[in-house]
Amino acid sequence: MAKPATRPTKPDRHPVKPDRHPVKPDRRPAKPEMHAAKPEPEASLEKRYFRIGEVSRITEVKPYVLRYWESEFRWMAPQKSRSKQRLYRRRDIDIILLIKKLLYEQRFTIAGARKKLRELGVGRALEEGTLLVETNHRDRFRKLRDELQVIRALL
């Protein structure tokens, strides 16, 4: 009987030594500083322009949210470099913080925040620093009634 043909075996590329076992390397070691994004200190705010990653760390708003807000709020239009990277100024960061306050702290919708900023004007809202939402409607209506009575008296 004929012997079946056998293939010659190739030598192992990485022979295992009898006293050692191969160790698979981890994909990437976890960096703890990557998981907990901390806002940058105020000293770094001396720069003239900031990239989106820096703004994200300063304002604690993710970059994709910043890009979305840019499409929703026309006041948030950062300049772009020759390489098409967004370059934010200190005023842009202040506007982002103002929008963040309206959306996250005062629970406005995007349309409501847009309307509030349009009513106040971005410049005036930034100067005031704090946006107060009127909760005492009775005083507001009383003041409005008084103004209307003055107008009626003039007629």
> What are the counts of helices (DSSP H) followed by strands (DSSP E) for the chain?
7, 2
- Integer Cα distance of 77 and 62 in angstroms: 17
Identify the CATH class of 37-154: mainly alpha
- What pLDDT score does 12 carry? 59
More confident residue, 100 or 142: 100
Q: What is the mean pLDDT of the chain?
A: 77
- What pLDDT score does 142 carry? 85
60 backbone φψ class: left, alpha, beta (φ>0; ψ -120 to 50): left
pLDDT digits (tens, 9 = 90+) for 82-116: 999 999 999 889 889 989 999 999 899 999 998 88
- Of 66, 118, 139, residue with least CA distance to 97: 66
- Contacts of residue 99, defined as CB under 8 A and 6 or more positions apart, other chains included, come to 69, 73, 76, 113, 117
pLDDT digits (tens, 9 = 90+) for 24-60: 555 555 555 544 445 544 545 678 899 999 999 999 9
- Integer Cα distance of 100 and 62 in angstroms: 11
- What pLDDT score does 34 carry? 47
